């Protein structure tokens, strides 16, 4: 946070000069440093948060879940990144301030355990716990080979390779649905040559896929779309923003846990995927 003393703007309560705040630094969900520019003031006598020149609280434009300091750790039970690791300071946009995370104050999104309690440190044990927590419907498993340790290598059993595919994840019951971008629609009507007309590929929407495979209501899923340029790799993953920021964070960390590396950007969008 950048501060400097201003002799022109004084605290509306105690009339003491306030410090100018011109920017904040924070670390995003993947740990990358980000800078957020804005203008506010702090009075060291009257306030312990940022205000404008009229004394009204100013909320820094930092997204919820970004770290002010510290390093994000992984759950010692299932290996998922934690929203808040012990010893870090995490920002909450709804209250406009950061909170320090005490030891055992970090609860895992996926397994729900507190950091470090009753868990094994072995990777094999973490992988087994993670595998048991993720629910893939039987109907999806019959059509797809979903690799939860290398998600980008998941394959539809009916086709050799798909450049794109879609998925939906419910943080409520940890259910993961995977389905094709398009499905084939055969027109059996005969044409002038008495042959079946060419195959039409119809785009599959998320509502239909969730109704077919899922067990939760449509609004209880985070929606995603994977773009791959060649076997085993991906250009990007698009995700639909949700009103529940914690669900977004959980899905983000889930994809990283499933082997989606930092080289593959996870891009959150407001528009339809």
First and final C-alpha spacing in the chain:
36
Domain ranges (residues) in the chain: 1-62, 69-131, 134-269
In 3D space, the residue among 3, 12, 2, 11 whose CA is nearest the CA of residue 36 turns out to be 2
117 pLDDT more than 90: no
Measure the CA angle with vertex 94, ends 90 and 96; round to 5°: 65
The pLDDT score that the predictor gives to residue 195 is: 47
Which residue would you say has higher pLDDT here, 56 or 240? 240
Q: What is the tens place of the pLDDT at every residue in 29-70?
A: 999 999 999 888 888 787 666 888 787 888 889 999 999 998
pLDDT tens for residues 128-157? 999 999 999 999 999 999 999 999 989 998
Mean pLDDT of 225-252: 87
CA distance 199 to 189: 12
């Amino acid at each position: 946070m950048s501060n400097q003393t201003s002799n022109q703007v004084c605290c509306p309560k105690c009339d003491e000069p306030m410090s100018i705040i011109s920017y904040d630094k924070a670390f995003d969900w993947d740990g990358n440093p980000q800078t957020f520019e804005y203008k506010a003031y702090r009075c060291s006598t009257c306030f312990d948060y940022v205000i404008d020149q009229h004394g009204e609280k100013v909320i820094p434009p930092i997204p919820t879940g970004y770290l002010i300091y510290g390093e994000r750790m992984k759950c010692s039970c299932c290996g998922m990144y934690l929203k808040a690791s012990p010893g870090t300071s995490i920002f909450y946009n709804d209250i406009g301030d950061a909170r320090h995370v005490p030891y055992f104050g970090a609860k895992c999104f996926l397994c729900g355990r507190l950091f470090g309690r009753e868990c094994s440190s072995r990777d094999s044990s973490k992988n087994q716990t993670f595998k048991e927590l993720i629910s893939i419907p039987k109907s999806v498993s019959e059509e797809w080979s979903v690799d939860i340790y290398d998600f980008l290598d998941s394959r539809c059993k009916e086709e050799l390779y798909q450049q794109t595919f879609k998925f939906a994840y419910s943080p409520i019951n940890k259910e993961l649905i995977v389905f094709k971008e398009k499905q084939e629609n055969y027109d059996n009507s005969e044409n002038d040559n008495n042959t079946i007309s060419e195959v039409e590929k119809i785009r599959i929407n998320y509502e239909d896929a969730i109704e077919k495979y899922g067990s939760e209501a449509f609004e209880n899923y985070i929606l995603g779309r994977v773009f791959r340029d060649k076997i085993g790799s991906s250009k990007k993953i698009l995700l639909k923003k949700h009103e529940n920021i914690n669900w977004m964070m959980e899905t983000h960390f889930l994809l990283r846990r499933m082997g989606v590396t930092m080289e593959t950007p996870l891009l959150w969008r407001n528009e339809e995927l």
